[in-house]
Amino acid sequence: MNPKENYLHEFFRIFFANKQLVKRVFLIFAVIALVLPLVLKQSFDITAQVIVQSKKLSQGDATTSLTQDNATFIPPSLADMETESNILRSPALIRQTISELRDKGEYTPPPGMFNKLVLEPIKRYITSPLREHLINPVKSALGMATDPVRDTVLDGLTQQAVDSLKVETLPGSNVISIVYSFPDPAQGTKFVAALLQNYLASRQELQSIDLPQSFYETKKKQYQVRLDGLEGTRLALLESVGSSDPKEEITFRLNAINTEEQALNLYQDRLLQSQRWLDYLKGALAAASNSKLNDYTFPYTFTTTVDNVAFEDREIKQMGEALTTQVTRYMNDLAIFQPGSEPMLLTREQIARTRQQFLKVVSNRIQERTSDLAIVSSVIDQKTARIAEFKNRIHQLQETQSKLRQMDTEIDALHAAFSTYAQRFAESSTARSLDNDLSNARVLSPPFEPTEAAFPKPLLIIPFGLFTGLLLAIALVYVREFFDHRFKHPAQITHELGLPVLLVINDQNTLPSNPHKNWSVPSFVHWVRN
């Protein structure tokens, strides 16, 4: 069997032939792997999560839409989540957060980072000819002079934060993950917490339709003035017609008109009836005045009906009965006495006197009925005038009520608008918690201060360093073997030169054993050298 075909044998042959090189390379990497966790600077990962439950779409702006239904919410899309991530990682937001924390003295660059982020940028800033001879004079002339050291440090800290901040959307969800690497866990936690608060505030300003507080104060005053003017005009209109409630007075006047019309109809019927009876009585009186001596009583008894009760005129009745009696006795005596006899003459005179008295009383009654007819006509005219007055009053109240309805509509609209502005003014004037923001974004997992460093991790660096050192040592050995063309075993002579091998003499010099005690430092040094 050809030795070259036994790869395992070839591997061990090369490995043990160069074991000293393997040991040294491996030990070098082992030392590097052990020292590296002690040399590298620690970095802590501060994590947090934000959930975006929905996206607000405004249906208008604060100057035109004042109802409560001026915004709708829909689930966020992938593009919306990417937008939210861009807001979180925006340099302006990070710079604002760092500036606020630095003003409070809660954010300072680590000592190792000071030279890189502070001193070197300041040097470049001060030695920059363009800034020194052009930019700074222009800013000074415009009154825009700033602190160069502060701006430079803030720029460096902002860039460091941008590089150390990792913001990404968790796949298939509406949750944004924030990971910030920083040497100081306390400062890093404060930075992430402040960044989330500024993010929510910035998001609210970007998506909110609210206007500044001064706008609501101005609107409030305008609507108060407008409402006061309308209310004053309304009161003046009511005072001009002398009514506090036109609708109620119209109802009262209509009821009064109904009552008056009913009474008017009764008086008109009574007037018509009395007029007909009066005409009849005058005709009957004229006929009775021209009647013969032997005619009987008046054809009308002058009965008055009040509430369905008939009242007769007693005087007319008595005189009518007396006249009837006299006429009857005269007719009976006429059969006994001569018409020219003295008793008959006396009876005729008595009948004539009674008839004249009767006709005089009837004439008086007719005059009374004529006067009563004039009174009824006067009452009818009075009620007609009163009804016309009521109608004119109702027409005036209806015109006023129409104007009041228009004003009430405008006042109600202003009241609704004023109520909405007042409510939104009260909401904007109070310190609202960002957790109750209508943008519907929440901090799902607030940042907390980590207790263990995320980098370096000795349990990963040391094993991987040792394994890498071993692989690299084996690779170096194989590279060395590849460029070494000396014969290492007899089979190579036969294979390369085609000559038979007659004799092989092995080296009898063996390496001395380790004379030192096992697991001691001299023993380890001897093992490395040999």
Share of the chain above pLDDT 70, in %: 73
pLDDT of res. 379: 92
pLDDT of res. 528: 62
Higher pLDDT, 508 or 234: 234
Helix (H, G, I), strand (E, B) or coil at 55: strand
Q: Mind listing the pLDDT tens digit for each residue in 191-234?
A: 999 999 888 888 777 765 555 667 777 877 888 888 888 888 88
pLDDT of res. 260: 92
Report the alpha-carbon distance of residue 18 to residue 24 in Å, rounded.
10
pLDDT of res. 423: 73
pLDDT of res. 67: 45
Tell whether the model's pLDDT for residue 431 goes beyond 50: no
Q: Under a CB-based contact definition with an 8 Å cutoff, are residues 55 and 74 in contact?
A: yes
β partners of residue 49:
177, 445
Report the alpha-carbon distance of residue 408 to residue 234 in Å, rounded.
9
Q: What are phi and psi of 195, to 5 degrees?
A: -65, -40
Q: How confident is the model at residue 386 (pLDDT cuts 50, 70, 90)?
A: very high
Least trusted range by pLDDT, from 101-115, 252-266, 280-294, 326-340 = 101-115
Least trusted range by pLDDT, from 26-35, 171-180, 296-305, 384-393 = 296-305
Location of structure tokens 């109809």:
265
Scanning 89-212, the segments in alpha helix (DSSP H) are 91-104, 111-114, 120-126, 129-130, 136-141, 148-164, 185-207
Q: Mind listing the pLDDT tens digit for each residue in 117-157?
A: 555 555 555 555 555 556 666 666 665 555 555 567 788 88
Tell whether the model's pLDDT for residue 60 goes beyond 50: no
Helix (H, G, I), strand (E, B) or coil at 499: coil
Tell whether the model's pLDDT for residue 383 goes beyond 50: yes
Question: Highest mean pLDDT: which of 77-91, 257-271, 336-350?
Answer: 257-271
State the CB neighbour count (10 A cutoff) for residue 432: 12
The mean per-residue pLDDT over the stretch 459-464 comes to 78
Name the pairing type of β-strands 165-169 and 71-74: unpaired
Query: Average pLDDT of the chain?
Result: 77
List of long-range contacts for 74-80, beta carbons under 8 Å, 24+ apart? 75/174, 76/52, 76/174, 78/169, 80/52, 80/55
Least trusted range by pLDDT, from 27-31, 38-42, 321-325, 494-498 = 38-42
Per-residue three-class SS string for 215-277: HHHHHHHHHHHHHHHHHHHHHHHHHHHCCCCHHHHHHHHHHHHHHHHHHHHHHHHHHHHHHHH
pLDDT of res. 277: 83
Tell whether the model's pLDDT for residue 429 goes beyond 70: no
Q: What are phi and psi of 290, to 5 degrees?
A: -100, 10
Q: What is the pTM of this model?
A: 0.46
Q: Mind listing the pLDDT tens digit for each residue in 255-301?
A: 999 999 999 999 898 889 888 888 888 888 888 777 776 665 667 77
pLDDT of res. 387: 93
State the CB neighbour count (10 A cutoff) for residue 452: 9
User: Among candidates 461, 407, 354, 96, which has minimal Cα distance to 231?
Assistant: 407
The mean per-residue pLDDT over the stretch 417-442 comes to 62
Higher pLDDT, 6 or 133: 6
Q: Under a CB-based contact definition with an 8 Å cutoff, are residues 187 and 157 in contact?
A: no
pLDDT of res. 3: 47
